[in-house]
């Protein structure tokens, strides 16, 4: 399985949803970096919102097994393990292989010739986000000591839109403020409407999707490369490793296709400190795959969870019998709020991978 990511830093995710443990190994982190374990736990706890409280039932916070000594990175691979206290060996269990709508049951069975673990989606489960979030949280701490901050909020959920980021004037305080909220939005009234919408969908046995908007501030200009190693390329590859992601855009994104060049192009000017900036930020902080020094702005679309609280039509892959599955007791009406730290984590990994070779980093 393609559970490895190779950039300037490297990480690999291991484990399965119903296995004894899941975890991550991160290699090539700079030595001597302070790892704040309390801040790590706080970052990871942000994934436990509403429905997604159940992704950690029986689980624990990560245990760091190597790569850190005296709260400092040693330069050896950083390995973290998250144990599943509810793990039950599957000996004698007969788990049917179903092709359910919206799930990767059928495609996973075909790809791995029927040998993949289908219990709660095995290695394809969104529970595997926890190791990714851990790795991104560590990378985020390293970046923040250099004043580079990543933050995100729910841009829209179903048909309700939050206040968007100001692509020119985003600050570190704007990003940190959202992290401390129990529901990650800028406009709390819109957030309350979103929560009511989630509850309505849950009561109907249905699910909702949405869009997460993320930003990175204080990135220097000149990071990245053209063609296939551009900033958008690397961030996109990591984000598309997150289950349920269906699209990504930078800056004006798809709206740019409706604009004239004179409307889209961002004019440069020199500010009072001699820094080059743009008056608008339709380019989202990246030109030619290289950062411009303006805030990096990314939006990620998430489709609705397929695991709804209602019966659905499916096919038994063993017998090819058309069946109707029962109601899903572990149904999730909306994953969007709990995915906010996952999007931040993926961006942190990409940004650190670029920054690690930056002069005087």
Domain ranges of the chain: 97-355
Q: CB under 8 Å to 351, separation ≥6 — which residues?
A: 139, 143, 148, 150, 216, 219, 223, 296
CATH architecture of 97-355: 4-Layer Sandwich (3.60)
pTM of the model: 0.89
pLDDT at 346: 97
Q: CB under 8 Å to 15, separation ≥6 — which residues?
A: 21, 22, 23, 82, 123, 128, 131
* pLDDT less than 70: residues of the chain: 1-2, 49-60, 86-96, 102, 108, 112-125, 326-331
pLDDT at 252: 96
pLDDT at 26: 95
């Amino acid at each position: 399985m393609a559970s490895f990511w190779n950039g300037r830093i490297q990480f690999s995710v291991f484990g399965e949803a119903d296995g004894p443990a899941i975890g991550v190994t991160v290699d090539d982190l700079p030595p001597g970096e302070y790892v704040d374990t309390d801040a790590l736990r706080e970052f990871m706890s942000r994934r436990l919102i509403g429905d997604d409280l159940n992704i950690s039932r029986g689980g624990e916070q990560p245990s760091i097994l190597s790569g850190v000594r005296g709260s400092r990175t040693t330069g050896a691979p950083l390995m973290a393990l998250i144990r599943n206290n509810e793990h039950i060996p599957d000996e004698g269990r007969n788990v049917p292989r179903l092709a359910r709508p919206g799930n990767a049951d059928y495609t996973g069975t075909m790809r791995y010739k029927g040998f993949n673990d289908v219990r709660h989606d095995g290695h394809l489960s969104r529970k595997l986000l926890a190791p990714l979030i851990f790795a991104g949280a560590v990378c985020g701490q390293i970046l923040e000591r250099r004043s580079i901050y990543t933050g995100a909020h729910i841009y829209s959920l179903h048909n309700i839109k939050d206040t968007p980021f100001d692509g020119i004037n985003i600050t570190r305080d704007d990003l940190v403020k959202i992290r401390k909220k129990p529901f990650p939005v800028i406009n709390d009234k819109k957030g309350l409407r979103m929560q009511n919408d989630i509850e309505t969908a849950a009561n109907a046995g249905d699910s909702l999707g949405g869009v997460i908007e993320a930003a990175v501030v204080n990135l220097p200009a000149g990071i990245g490369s053209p063609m296939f190693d551009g900033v958008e390329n690397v961030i996109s590859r990591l984000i598309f490793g997150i289950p349920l992601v269906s699209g990504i855009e930078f800056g004006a994104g798809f709206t740019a296709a409706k604009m004239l060049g004179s409307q889209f192009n961002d004019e440069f000017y020199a500010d009072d400190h001699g820094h080059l900036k743009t008056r608008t930020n339709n380019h989202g902080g990246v030109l030619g795959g290289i950062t411009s020094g303006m805030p990096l702005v990314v939006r990620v679309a998430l489709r609705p969870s397929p695991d709804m609280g209602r019966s659905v039509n499916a096919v038994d892959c063993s017998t090819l019998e058309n069946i109707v599955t029962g109601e899903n007791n572990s149904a999730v009406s909306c994953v969007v709020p709990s995915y906010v730290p996952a999007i931040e984590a993926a961006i942190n990994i990409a940004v650190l991978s670029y920054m690690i070779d930056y002069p005087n980093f």
